[in-house]
Amino acid sequence: MNSDDKRDKRLRSLAEEYRVMLESRQDANTLAYFAKQDREALMAIEGCTRIVNICMASDRDHELRLKEIFDIVTNSITPAILKLSEDIGRVQSETTLCIATQERMDARFESLGKWAAAIEAWAVKQGKPPQPKENQSASPN
C-alpha cells in the first residue's frame, strides 16, 4: 500500500464520521423541545430548593420554640408540680387522720348511745319515767 491509499482510507473514514455526526445531529424543533424540558427541570429544582430552605428555616424556628417550652417546663412548671405534689400528700395525710378521728368519734358516740340506753332502761326498772330528749334543732332563743 502506498501513502495515497492510506490517505484515501483516512479521508473516507473522516468523511464517514462527519456523515454519521450530521445524521445524528438534532433538528431545531428537537433542540427547542430539549431546551424547554431543561428550563422546566431547572424551575422544578429551584422550587424544590426554595421549599427545602423554607422547611429548614421552619425547623430551626420550631427547635428554638421547643427549647423555650422545655425551659419553661423545667424552670417553672416542674417546681410547681413538685410543690403541688407535696401539698396533695399533706392533704391526703390530714384526710386520713380526720377519717380515723371521725371513726373513733363515731365509736364513742355509739358507745355513749348504748350507755344512755342502758341508763334509761335502769331508770325505767327503778320506776322513774324516762327524761324527755332535747330537740337538737331547737335554738335557745
Residue 20 lies in a domain: yes
**CA–CA dist 33, 75 (Å, integer):** 63
8 Å CB contact between 34 and 26: yes
**CA–CA dist 100, 27 (Å, integer):** 102
**CA–CA dist 121, 115 (Å, integer):** 10
For 6-21, letters b (16+ CB in 10 Å) and e give eeeeeeeeeeeeeeee
By residue range, what is the domain housing residue 102? Answer: 3-125
**pLDDT value for 101:** 92
Q: Any idea which residue has 387522720 for its cell? A: 97
8 Å CB contact between 124 and 130: yes
**pLDDT value for 39:** 93
**pLDDT value for 19:** 77
Residue 139 lies in a domain: no
**pLDDT value for 131:** 66
**Domains in the chain, number:** 1
Residue 50 lies in a domain: yes
Residues 6+ apart with CB under 8 A from 131: 120, 123
Stretches where the chain sits below pLDDT 50 are none
Residue 11 lies in a domain: yes
**pLDDT value for 99:** 92
Residue 23 lies in a domain: yes
Residue 81 lies in a domain: yes
Residue 140 lies in a domain: no
C-alpha cell at position 100 = 380515723
Residue 15 lies in a domain: yes
Whether the model pTM is above 0.75:
no
